[in-house]
Amino acid sequence: MTQNPAAVAATSVASVQAPAPVVLDHVEPPDWWVGMARPELQLMLHGAGIGALQAEIAPMPGVTLTGARRGDSPNYLFLDLRIDAGARPGTLTLRLKRDGQVVLEHPYPLQARAAGSAQRESFGPKDAIYLVVPDRFANGDPRNDQVAGMAEGVRRDDPGGRHGGDLAGLTAHLDYIAAMGFTMLWPTPLSENNSPKWSYHGYGATDFYKTDPRFGSNADYVALSLEARRRGIGLIQDIVLNHIGVHHWWMADLPTTDWINVWPQYTETHHARMTLQDPYAAPSDRKRFSDGWFSPGMPDLNQRQPLVATYLTQMSLWWIERAGLAGVRTDTYSYSDKDFLAAWSRRLKDEYPRLNIVGEEWSPHPAVVSYWQAGKVNHDGYVSSLPSLMDFPLQEALLAGLNQADSHDGGFTRIYEALAHDFVYPDAGNLVLFEGNHDTPRLYSALHEDVDLTRMAWAYLSFVRRIPQFFYGTEILMTSPRHRDDGVVRADFPGGWPGDTVNAFTGAGLSERQRDAQAFLKRLLNWRKSEPLVHGGALMQYAPMANSYVLFRYDAAKGLRGRRLMLVLHKGREPQELALDRFPEMLRGGETATDVITGERRTLGRTLTLPAKSVTVLSIE
């Protein structure tokens, strides 16, 4: 058979096909700023086959491409840039070349920072934090309940499913949050979690740079931050450094073979956090704690890999700058590599010297928690740069002390002695003390649905040298099992969904007990907002006696000559006369005091009448 010459030529041309077009699937960070404290920036470029390409940048004053490196996957290219102090905002052009020919140009925005960005105000003892689980707070936009391409839709009848709360719902109720007296808002993570189950809580990111579309968009998140600031509320972002969700886009094509911690077979962390401080700990135990996966659905990131460490650091900085954050809360803090954590927090503080960062170290031991706070001289030489931690030891003691009968080592003594351990902390006043959170039983239930004890817990948080944090719904006495049950603990806030018969935002349908509790906390927090003695005053506590526990806040420079605050917690089931001559360092007799809760003014005599199971907060002239 004779072949047609034209057909042969056509076949030859077809066999030498032009290379496929180059497509960038991800460029992260997606943009950056001039004028940052550190000039280095590393870009992750991801797209089919781009690891084989050469990179350059179009000339731009003050910006230099200092290096390029490839991952183990052929689909990644990491570009190292230097952005000098003299660089101006504009668009940087990234060029990818094959055999000397430009095959792709990508415009990369370099923006001007907001005025005062580096010196932004952060959270501290002057603030009260409101923790919310956005999926369970309010559904402001039902149109995003079901989103194409997202594996899980809304099932409000499922405690572990998505319920539809979103950024629109949070933004719509900022006035309520502000009116309650909260000055900081901490939502659990809002990053994309595209998993088929348990995606609502946000702790298994599938895209670090993208707000989950069922919550809204990145623009919606920035708008929430702006609207919150207009109401005197700062936004704290919950950032996860330790792990990702198993459906993260990396997992189909890891940038490097050591991007995540890999074991011969699945190995879960045993949560033995004390191995990091234990002088006798087996190295294999330390490795399992830090490198074990949090769950089968949460691969453990390897922060010892420099590319991972840089990625996580820049991601954190990007959100702080982009969203105008007032602070950062870091989940599962000690599970990440400890040297990375020191460098990560130090870099954030280099860029934002006044930024507060609070880490979660879930331990009942002050010695373990204090190990991670900046300024601590540790036995092993470890130097941390983390300003704040969640105060799990005092929170545990508070619940135990309120529930227990008083004794020489129980009841109020538990709280008194836990607070006395403040000597182990470099900055105890900067710890975040909480009455409950998304991982613990509800306060009201933990205290056996005792309103009086609940008020004592709220008053203690508002008075003691700490940054107080409250969990959404505590103000209306929301309940849960007394054991851990995440889906039920994170129940829907009433009034956040159309058709709710109870509306806690307006008070409609609340019981009298709930309304009274809500009003009590509202009075307490709004008083606290403008009370400098609880923001920075010295503290003196007296050993508990006769079912009562007394603390004072005062100006250390003025002592008895200055104004003082007095908190009395009384658990007795009968009224009691508290002898005031027991407090000579803080009371001189005959002073005028104002009851912070009721507004009643009184003259202090020899005794103070304490109602049964009561909280008394006095401002003493």
Question: What are 413-430's pLDDT values in tens digits?
Answer: 999 999 999 999 999 999
In this prediction, residue 166 carries a pLDDT of 98
Give the pLDDT band (50/70/90) at residue 19. Answer: confident
- Give the strand pairing for 564-570 and 576-579: unpaired
DSSP β-ladder status, 327-331 and 601-603: unpaired
Residue type, 46: H
The chain-wide mean pLDDT, for the chain, equals: 96
The strand pairing partners of 577, in sequence order, are 609
Alpha-carbon distance 174 to 288, whole Å?
Answer: 42
Mean pLDDT of 438-459: 98
402 has a pLDDT exceeding 60: yes
Q: Which residues contact 619 (CB under 8 A, 6 or more apart)?
A: 563, 564, 565, 593, 594, 596
Give the pLDDT confidence score for residue 20 in this predicted structure: 80
Residue 4 pLDDT level (bands cut at 50, 70, 90): low
Task: State the pLDDT at residue 272.
Answer: 96
Q: CA dihedral in degrees (571, 437, 507, 456; nearest 10)?
A: 10
CATH, domain range 26-112:
2.60.40.10
Tokens of 360: 């979660």
The secondary structure element, H or E, covering residue 229 is helix 218-230
Secondary element (H or E) of residue 342 = helix 338-351
Is there a contact between 250 and 192 (Cβ–Cβ < 8 Å)? no
Catalytic residues: 331, 360
Could you tell me the strand order of the sheet in which 564-570 lies? Answer: 538-545, 548-554, 564-570, 614-620, 592-595, 601-603
For residue 8, pLDDT beyond 70:
no
CA distance 548 to 406: 9
The confidence band for 17, taking pLDDT boundaries of 50, 70 and 90, is: low
Domain extent listing, the chain = 26-112, 537-620
Distance CA 411, CA 205 (A): 41
Give per-residue pLDDT as tens, 501-539: 999 999 999 999 999 999 999 999 999 999 999 999 999
Q: Do 26-112 and 537-620 agree at the fold level?
A: yes
362-386 pLDDT, tens digit per residue, is 999 999 999 999 999 999 999 999 9
What tens digit of pLDDT does each residue of 124-147 get?
999 999 999 999 999 999 999 999
Q: What is the CATH number of domain 537-620?
A: 2.60.40.1180
* Torsion sign across C-alpha atoms 157, 158, 159, 161: negative
Helix (H, G, I), strand (E, B) or coil at 97: strand
- d(CA 80, CA 67) in angstroms, rounded, equals 5
Distance CA 517, CA 504 (A): 12
The rounded distance, in Å, linking the Cα atoms of 36 and 350 is 10
Mean pLDDT of 240-244: 98
Q: What is the pLDDT of residues 581-612, one digit of tens each?
A: 999 999 998 999 999 999 999 999 999 999 99
Which amino acid appears at position 249 of this protein?
W
Q: Distance between CA 186 and CA 502 in Å, rounded?
A: 24
Percentage of the chain lying above the pLDDT 90 cut: 96
Provide the 3-class DSSP secondary structure of residue 604: coil
Q: Which two tokens stand for residue 81?
A: 């840039």
Q: Tens digit of pLDDT for each residue in 22-42?
A: 999 999 999 999 999 999 999
pLDDT value of residue 301: 98
3-state SS of 17-59 is: CCCCCCCCCEEECCCEECCCCCCEEEEEEECCCHHHCEEEECC
Residues 6+ apart with CB under 8 A from 219: none
Q: pLDDT per residue over 147-178, tens digit each?
A: 999 999 999 999 999 999 999 999 999 999 99
Residue 366 and residue 419 in contact, taking contact as beta carbons nearer than 8 Å: no
Q: Measuring CA to CA, which residue among 299, 344, 318 is closest to residue 209?
A: 318
